[in-house]
Amino acid sequence: MRLLKIFNSILFLALANIVQAQEITPQVGEELFIDAVKAFETKDFQTAIELFSLLAEQGEPTSQHNLSLLYLKGLGSPVNYRRALRWAWLASLGGNKSAPELIDDIRELITEDLIDIVAQEIVTELTEKAMAGDKGTPEKLGKTYYQLFVTPDLQKAYIWLLISQAFGHESPSQLLKDVEEQIEIADRISYQDEALETFGKISK
């Protein structure tokens, strides 16, 4: 089973990405990551989930991916598909290469209602960050509105991708083009005005 194969590779992924974790976390984060891997190796899953949780909350994508797997398999915590999807999606937004496949596996197990609940929770959190001036968050919002909700919210996706572009980010350009092609010109104009208004309200 593809999911089992992914799970069995968790330790490999953790070790292979430890350098990445060290680069984006402070010294204490490095130590926590190593301790989390050791806890997993010794099957102390409760400690592993606690340590990966600390790093995941800081935005470290490898820890987010590993935390998702632990929730999915019920190790260190009872099985929780809601948290598994949340952390897998955040890991994907953070650039974890294994997360998209994991997301697909989780989506096959759960209801569309739960997918939309998780998506709404994530956009609520990201919107707060974006409005507070985090310039990397608008792209994540655009992706979430377009790719995580069962029915893509083209309006919100377009608005936030336009805002990301306004901040000088080039990475969402193809995604922005894909979204724009699905929106009628009259709606585009309306959404552009809304993007301009929202952009003006973001803390600079």
Q: How confident is the model at residue 70 (pLDDT cuts 50, 70, 90)?
A: very high
Question: What percent of the chain shows pLDDT beyond 70?
Answer: 86
Tokens, residue 30: 């490095």
Lowest mean pLDDT across 4-18, 100-114, 147-161: 4-18
Q: Which of the four pLDDT bands, split at 50, 70 and 90, describes residue 29?
A: confident
- The pair of structure tokens assigned to 193 is 């005005």
Task: Please say whether the structural domain 2-109 has been given the CATH code 1.10.10.10.
Answer: no
Does residue 114 register a pLDDT over 60? yes
Quick check: 25 pLDDT over 50? no
88, pLDDT greater than 50: yes
- Nearest to 158, CA basis, from 180, 190, 128, 132: 180
**Weakest mean pLDDT among 27-31, 32-36, 45-49, 93-97:** 27-31
For residue 26, the model assigns a pLDDT of: 63
In degrees, to the nearest 5, what angle opens at C-alpha 132 toward C-alphas 127 and 158? 40
pTM of the entire predicted model: 0.85
Pairwise CA distance, residues 96 & 15, whole Å: 14
Residue 149 in this model has a pLDDT that exceeds 80 = yes
C-alpha closest to that of 159 among 136, 170, 174, 143: 143
Share of the chain above pLDDT 90, in %: 79
Q: Does residue 137 have a pLDDT over 70?
A: yes
158: confidence class by pLDDT, cuts 50, 70, 90: very high
Task: Write down the mean pLDDT value for the chain.
Answer: 89
Q: Spell 71-97 as b/e; 16+ CB within 10 A means b.
A: bbbebbbeeebebbbbbbbbbbbbebe
Domain map of the chain by residue range?
2-109, 112-201
- pLDDT surpasses 90 at 19: no
Residue 187 falls in which region: left (phi positive, over 0), alpha (psi -120 to 50) or beta: alpha
